[in-house]
Amino acid sequence: MHLDLRESVLGTDVMDLKKRKMTAWQQWLERPDKSRVRNVFFQVHFWMGAAAGAYILLMSVSGSVIVYRNELSGNSFVEWVVRLHENLLMGTAGRFVNGIGAVCLTLLCLTGAVIWWPGTKHWRRSLTVDWSAHFARINWDLHSALGFWCFIFVMVWGISAIYFAFPQAFNTLLLLDPADRFTDTGLFWLSQLHFGRVGWLGEAIWMVLGLVPAVLAFTGVFICCRRVIYKKPSNPRSQLD
């Protein structure tokens, strides 16, 4: 009898545990703004974006300029922008700083992907921008929508920039591919994709999309100022929901 009672209690505990897990998952689906895990990711994304905003803006604009570096080779201004983009005009030290910045950009992509989810009721509207709304809402919509649609591009730029700064770290890929069947080819294409070297159309697209991180940095700084200085919600829609 005591054994049956113990099994019953344990069974109840297991059911309660499953129920709590289901509730947490449902909370993530329906009201992610109430999730503690999401809040941790949000804080990392928020403060890292605030710290690296100016750097990302600089890299974005300079990277867009040098897409056509091969066609404009010999132009002193373009060559100066190339050096600025590659090492911040500081040689090896600047390349190291670029590596840290690239890690930050990659983490911003990953954390942004987590906190983008607005809930089952609102996810569709996070894909578009309501241009008829007030500036704060347009700014939020633009940050959210661009972050979603251009996630892959920004992620590729972040990872490839890490590769340029710390190429030795990618040698660990050979542990998974000792015959080097894919590693060198993959890294070659990673380098090509960083600069959009996939034909004239690709370069044109890359020149335009290269400004996306700059827009994300600008809109992110505004969101930061709205939250820190004016003590208003990061998402102006939250006041309406």
Tokens of 181: 């069947």
Question: Cβ distance 48 to 104 under 8 Å?
Answer: yes
pLDDT of residue 3: 47
Is the model's pLDDT at 196 over the cut of 70? Answer: yes
Least confident of 30-34, 47-51, 216-220: 30-34
Q: Which residue has the tokens 């370069």?
A: 203
196: left (phi over 0), alpha (psi -120 to 50) or beta: left
Which residues, in sequence order, are CB contacts of 35 under 8 Å at separation 6+? 24, 27, 28
Question: Cβ distance 68 to 205 under 8 Å?
Answer: no
Q: Of all helices (H) and strands (E), which one includes residue 123? A: none
CA distance 64 to 209: 8
Sign of CA dihedral 160, 43, 58, 100: negative
pLDDT of residue 11: 53
CA distance 184 to 117: 35
* Rg (the chain; Cα; Å): 23
- Encode pLDDT of 105-129 as tens digits: 999 999 999 999 998 888 998 999 9
pLDDT of residue 191: 95
Average pLDDT value for the chain: 88
CA distance 84 to 59: 9
Is the model's pLDDT at 190 over the cut of 60? Answer: yes
Mean pLDDT of 154-177: 95
pLDDT of residue 4: 53
pLDDT of residue 72: 85
The winner for highest mean pLDDT among 158-162, 200-204, 221-225 is: 158-162
Mean pLDDT of 33-43: 89
- Encode pLDDT of 94-104 as tens digits: 999 999 999 99
CA distance 159 to 165: 10
Is the model's pLDDT at 27 over the cut of 70? Answer: yes
Provide the angle, in degrees to the nearest 10, between the axes of the packed helices 135-149 and 91-116: 100
Is the model's pLDDT at 53 over the cut of 90? Answer: yes
Is the model's pLDDT at 82 over the cut of 80? Answer: yes
pLDDT of residue 229: 82
Q: What percent of the chain has pLDDT over 90?
A: 67
Tokens of 106: 């990659």
pLDDT of residue 5: 46
Question: How many residues in total does the chain contain?
Answer: 241
Task: Note the pTM of the prediction, 2 decimals.
Answer: 0.86
